[in-house]
Amino acid sequence: MVNTGKPSGGCELCRKRRVKCDERKPACAYCQKKQITCRYPKSQFEVAWRDQNQVASKAVQRRLNARAKANPDTDCSSRELVQRHSSDVPRVLPQNHEHYAQAFFFNYYVVPLALSSHERGFLGSLLPFWTRAIPSSPLRPAVNAVAQTLLEVWSFSNPNSSQSLARPYYLQGILAVRRHLESAEDVDDDVLWAMLMLDMYDRIQAFCGGRPHESTHVKGCVATIENQRRLPVSSRTSQGTLLGVRSRFIDDALNKKEPVPSHVLTWATKYQSSRRIPDIELEAINVEVANLQVSALGLTADTEGLNVSVLELLGKARELDMRLVAWTTIMPDEWAPMIIWDPETIPRSVRDAGLYQNHCSIHQSIWTADILNLHCISRIKTRLVILACLEHLNDLVFDMTRTNALTSVQDLADTICASVPYHLGDRVEPRRIDDRHVQYPCVGDSGTPDMHCTMAAAYGGVLLTKRLAELLKLGPLLRPGQQQWILSQMGRIKKIYTF
């Protein structure tokens, strides 16, 4: 018989016997003759897609038996045949690289924050929005860009190279955000999150490339919110998005000496909580510190043309410094760092990697350590404004105030330097993100918690770089040798994180 390619319409028994069936209904001639039940397939689709594994297996076995009979001296098993003819077939199907990058990002950067008891407005709130994001959401390519970049960094690749797989996702994210902003619809949280993730991509690229970061996407978020194009806050996670934008915007303004609109403070009014959130309270003070810096920029000009009195500026700086000191009273007790002086408690490898003045601090988490370092930076900035005002007043009455301000700046800088071992441990060269052999200063015999090992590897160097860069601006105000030590630690971070 000639095979026409059309599936047979015969009954199941005739097809099994591989004989011609007359296809009579309800029973064919053979089944009627044998007086057995005649069964037909339910549809032609079932015939076309029927299981042929058993038939093929028997055919292969028949060929093997015939070959073994013809050549009795040759042992050719079915397993050997498969191995002989399937050398090009991979043992495991290739993984989806996009899914692998997402799993890496969420496992090391998002989930640890979501599991942390510390309330944080940025990545700790990403997970619920990601799980609800539709395929056309701009959040998906933006997250993929960040995930792929971080995977390349920790795979010892250069994320700034032209072969980077993250760049196409970044461009897709920008186009998707642009389409949403150009439409007349209100902006949902996933669009703001997409802009925050695009900003995170830029930060990683700037960090690895050793260049300054431009907060274009964060400013776009703020402009979108100011134009009231954002949907009303409907949940705690939605409010977390707003606080994430606010935190990024205030931190950038504080570092770049840019003004912050006062209405930004109202973004946290709907954040319902039975207690005062310390980092939100600190951000509210930092809004005024950022604006104080902008006002102090006029002190470099002739004092006769200033719009604000030097004495008024001095009074404002003192007031903010007192509020920053009072902020520590609302700080939870467990946030207070533990200072370690005992050399036996600090591993030798940690001391060799970088220890300033033979002591270091241990914190509750990497995030509380960064908040306390930010508090020190804010106090340093108010003290610098005080010193700038005193230089213009040039009055002997303020000599004691000037001395106290200089001493305070030095003490605050020492506090930040003491947190370096907690952030970096004994890392001095590139190592895997999940390397549990990295040693950190700890108290007792319990060792370093796995959560800190993960968080310090993922965030420690990036967070610390921002704070150390602010200390370098102090220049001659630091004690001799401290500026060189800070430069050496920043070079160490560059060697650890830029491959």
Q: In 183-235, where does DSSP find H-type helix?
A: 189-209, 216-226
pLDDT at 309: 81
Contact 190, 129 (CB under 8 A): yes
What average pLDDT score do residues 8-20 get?
84
Strand-pair category, 338-340 with 360-362: antiparallel
Most confident of 6-10, 180-184, 225-229: 180-184
First and final C-alpha spacing in the chain: 67
In terms of Cα–Cα distance, which of 388, 496, 337 is closest to 432?
496
58: which 2 tokens? 């028997």
pLDDT at 85 > cutoff 50: no
pLDDT at 87: 47
The DSSP H or E segment spanning 360 is strand 360-362
Give the separation between CA 11 and CA 37, rounded to whole angstroms.
Answer: 10
Contact 233, 242 (CB under 8 A): yes
Q: Where does the pLDDT of residue 497 fall: very low under 50, low under 70, confident under 90, or very high at 90 and above?
A: confident
pLDDT at 276: 61
* pLDDT tens, position by position, 345-374: 788 899 899 889 888 999 988 989 999 999
Give the separation between CA 199 and CA 122, rounded to whole angstroms.
Answer: 12
143 against 300, higher pLDDT? 143
* pLDDT tens, position by position, 125-158: 788 889 888 888 999 999 999 999 999 888 888 8
Taking residue 125's Cβ as centre, other Cβ atoms within 10 Å add up to 24
State which amino acid sits at residue 355.
L
